[in-house]
Each structure stands twice: as structure tokens, then as C-alpha cells.
Structure 1
């Protein structure tokens, strides 16, 4: 698998009912200007036969890269699914592990530029890419910022045209899990991704824990990745399912990593966010107001009660 070579890289893709995206991501990885890598596709209990299709493609030699397909055994969420691949890569001795969203495509130098930077200094634990909205010159991510008094996070450069204003390598507070490369020693120091979140904030939490263990976190703009999310959609119009996890996990992250004052401040922020969500829902006359209201308020309540993991989100 190439793990005996210097600077060997395991690339982890998480698949869940998304054959086309995963297929296109795997095909783009074939063009990487880097030799020592192996791809691990972890399937999170897909129900659309995408896993079987991908395995068949692999058996037919459709992919030029070395690919191992793994079934997680259930829908374990972002952290749980990625941890399955991370654990296997760690046990096989890979030097670096690259978490990559399956709905991305990559520039040919995206991996080599990350390795060049992280290999320069053993104190660098995490590096990440400049990420564009797919097929545009609009930025999706150029480094991450965290508000430790509210739990809110911010993608630097979000929806801005790239004019070279974010072209310097820099230290950042977090790298988003969409394209995050780390050295194996991080597992020994920080541990695996926290699975209690299920969806959202597990990558931010992990960055915070790494930083507090003394690891440097760098944004590397020479590494370019394209993310298939709509640049016309608004994060303010988030679906209630995602609003639940965003509200709950933002508070949980602060509760786990910060002191009492920050926790109090984050609680006030959560209450404000609930009011903001509900007001927007009324003004826009969004469909399913009853279910939306229930899930938004439940997210806040479950955060305060420290309810963790996957939630069966049914309206009442």
C-alpha cells in the first residue's frame, strides 16, 4: 500500500449514498502529482447501492489509484466514519492522513503542497487547503476562525472572489474537515475525532484540542480543492435537520473546551440564535414551521442537557 515509503499518505473519503460524487473525487485523485498515497473509501451504511457500485468499479480497474473499500457497519456520522479509516491508516503505519470530502475534486498539486509545508517543521500538526466553490473563483474556505464566547465559526474569504488576497501561508485557529491533512503523531497526542457530535463541529473541536497540545495549524493556499456546494444557497436558510446539530454542537464544543464565563456567553448566544431562526422562519413563511420550530428548540435544549450523538429527529 506504500506505507513503507517516506511521507506516505492515506487519503480518507467518506461515502454515504453518493456514488457520483465519490466516483468523481476518486478520478480526480488519479491526477495528483504525488506518488506515495493510498485511498481508503469508508462507506457509512449507504442504502442506494453506491458502495457496491464503487467496489465493482474498483474490481474492474476503473480507478488508477490504489483504493481500499471499507464498510463502517452503520451510519456513524462524520467523525465515526472517518475514524474507521483513520484507525486503519494509523495501524498500517502511514506518515500522514488526509481527510477529504467525497464531494470535492482536487488540483494536481493539492497534496504535494500540503506535504511540503507540514514536512518542514515537526511542530506542524494540521494543514489545510484553499477551497473554492466548484466551477467558480469564489472562495469557500481560506482558513478558519472560532469565536470562543459563542461557539460560532467563520470561513475566512467565504463567497469572496479570489484576487490573491489569501495567498499567504498562515497560522489559523482551525482547518475544516473538507480538506485536512495531519501527521500520525497527532493521534498519539490528541486522540481520534470526537464521535459525540455526530455531525458538525467535530473537526473544529479536534483543531482546538490539537492547538492546546502545542501543535501548529496552517492554511496552505497553494493547495487547491473544489467543493461541490452551491454558492447561491445561504447558510441562514439551513434545513432544520442541520440547524439542530449546529445549535447543539456549537454549545457542546464550548462546554467541553472553555471555562464558565465562555459557557454562559455561549448559552446566551444559543438562545439568540433560536430567536433568530424562528423569526426568519416566520418572516419567510417557510414550509414545515412546526417541525422546524421543534428541531431548532430541541437543538438548544439538548445542548444544555449535554445530549450527544446521533439524534432521531422526528417532529412532534
Structure 2
């Protein structure tokens, strides 16, 4: 079998249906689809059993998180290549076939990701450098807005680059990644200490240390709606306190694992400083909505910066 596709889903019934339909329509290489359901509150599992009986379904009794659920799926996968796919995606123009063909021709590439576009058709920035204190400083101070074409001042999501050519990168967003099965197994999959966010970053970091290339391939395209499985309730905004909490906990764990103690402390001080700045700004802002947003996010940053973990 060529490709094992693992989709981790949490209450994404309609999007999951559309995603699987696009896979079947646009993929001609031999493949299997494995869905790991993280205790969905909707009819996702019933839909799969009734409409796609050939799809392998793993039903978790609780939300196991992104890393552990992917490991569950790939543990039973039979393909030479593993394809990590979010349910809020659509395969366009034979994207999986194109990624497979490209990796077959380039055996030194361990991880490959496609060009991602949003529902509006605009390109998404799905490549990045590994996290660093400098990158966080540039993000908080918005230096990239002042120097948009500078790799030094605008490193986040590699926005200085136009994403037009094939390029080796540090890491890619995990919504659509093709990985050699041997590499995934050699690295023992994703680190399950990450519940959500930065698990693919950590995996790319370990893959790169092992000598594998991580390559962006713009000639394969996937539509990515973004954020649907991050919602804890159907009506919740994509960016919520719950999601932000997972993001920062995972970021701190990544630093503890892959950086030195000084870098972790510096990151916490940076978050604390920016949180205090937002609280100050909220006290003098005249706009009620912006003032409330600045106050809430500032308070949140201070809380996570001072947390023990």
C-alpha cells in the first residue's frame, strides 16, 4: 500500500464527510483512510459507519489529544507513507498523488507538505522556522510589519518569502503532512506530552536532527478551512482561552525539551512584559471592545508566564 491517511477528528461531522469525499475523488494511488475520533459530541462516527464502511474507525472514549490520536492511527497503518490530515481540509487536483510522486523521486526527503489555501482561495503561510525567543520578540513587537521582506525581522511563518518554489524548511503545519513511515517509526511518532500544538514542530525538529529533509512542495494544493477541531463547542470562536492555554503550555514544553533553561525563562519574561504592556494599554484605550480584548489577553499572558508549568 502506498499511503495511509490518518485523520484525527473532534465533532467535525460535515467537514469530515467532505474531506473523505475529496480524498476518494482526487486520490488514485493505493491508500487507506484511518479516522481517530476523539469522543465527538456529534454524529461523526455514525456517519462514517453508514457512508464510509471501508474507512477504519478508532473511537476514543475521551479526547486523547492530537499527538496520541495520530499515534493510535499510524500504529495500525500499512502504507509506505503516512499522511497526517486534518478533517477541515479538501484534497485538490490529486494533491496526495503529487506528494507521493515527489517523495518517490527524492528519497532523502523525510517530510513533505503541500501548498495550503483558505476558503477564500488565498495562500496560507504553513512553513516556519523553529521557535526561538527572537521570533517571539519580533511577533510581539510587530517588527515584521515594519520590515516585511526581512528574514531577520519577519521570521514568523516565513512571510518574507512568496512560497512560490520548492524549498527545504524547518517545520510545517501539521494539517497536511506526508511522512515516510520508516521515519515516523524510527522517531517513535509524535510526543504525546503535547496535547495540542507544537507536536509536529517537535517531530520536525527530531526529524531534522536525524538528517531528514523537510520540504515544501507548492505544486500540490490542499484547501484548509482552519481551526474547526480546536473548538470545544460548535459555537465557540476559533481563538478561545482553552485553545490559547493549550498553545502556550505546548510552547513552554517545547522549550523545556529543546532549548536551555535560559531560553525558557527569557520567553516567560517576554510574555510577562507583553502582558503587562497590554494591561497598561487597556487602561488608556478609548475603544471598549479593543480595551477588553487587550485586558483579557494581557491578563492571560501574565497568568501563563507565571504558571509553574
> What TM-score results when the alignment is normalised by the length of structure 2?
0.79
2:251 match: 250
Tell me by how many angstroms 1:172 deviates.
Answer: 0.3
Structure 1 alignment gaps of length 5 or more: 60-65, 231-236, 307-316
1:196 match: 193
Tell me by how many angstroms 1:222 deviates.
Answer: 0.7
The equivalences for 1:143-162 within 5 A come to 143-149=127-133, 152=136, 154-157=156-159
Is 1:82 the counterpart of 2:70? The answer is yes
The equivalences for 1:231-310 within 5 A come to 238-275=239-276, 278=279, 283=285, 284-286=290-292, 295-302=300-307, 305-306=308-309
Provide the secondary structure at the position in 1 that maps to 2:173.
coil
1:141 match: 125
Structure 2 alignment gaps of length 5 or more: 137-154, 228-237
1:121 match: 106
Give the direction of change, closer, same or farther, for the CA distance of 1:287–1:266 in structure 2 (3 Å limit).
closer
1:70 corresponds to which of 49, 58, 66: 58
In 2, distance between residues paired with 1:265 and 1:202? 22
Tell me by how many angstroms 1:205 deviates.
Answer: 1.1
Provide the secondary structure at the position in 2 that maps to 1:10.
strand
In 2, distance between residues paired with 1:52 and 1:71? 11
Is 1:36 the counterpart of 2:30? The answer is yes
Q: What do the CA deviations read for 1:205-232 (whole angstroms, capped 9, x no partner)?
A: 11111111111100000110111139xx
Tell me by how many angstroms 1:244 deviates.
Answer: 1.5
Tell me by how many angstroms 1:280 deviates.
Answer: 6.8
How many residues are aligned here? 276
Asked whether the equivalents of residues 13 and 99 of structure 1 are also in contact (C-alpha less than 8 Å), the reply is yes
In 1, distance between residues paired with 2:127 and 2:294? 35
2:9 match: 15
In 1, distance between residues paired with 2:277 and 2:102? 41
Is 1:24 the counterpart of 2:18? The answer is yes
In 1, distance between residues paired with 2:113 and 2:99? 7
Provide the secondary structure at the position in 2 that maps to 1:12.
strand
Tell me by how many angstroms 1:151 deviates.
Answer: 6.9
Is 1:187 the counterpart of 2:184? The answer is yes
Give the direction of change, closer, same or farther, for the CA distance of 1:289–1:275 in structure 2 (3 Å limit).
closer
Provide the secondary structure at the position in 1 that maps to 2:222.
strand
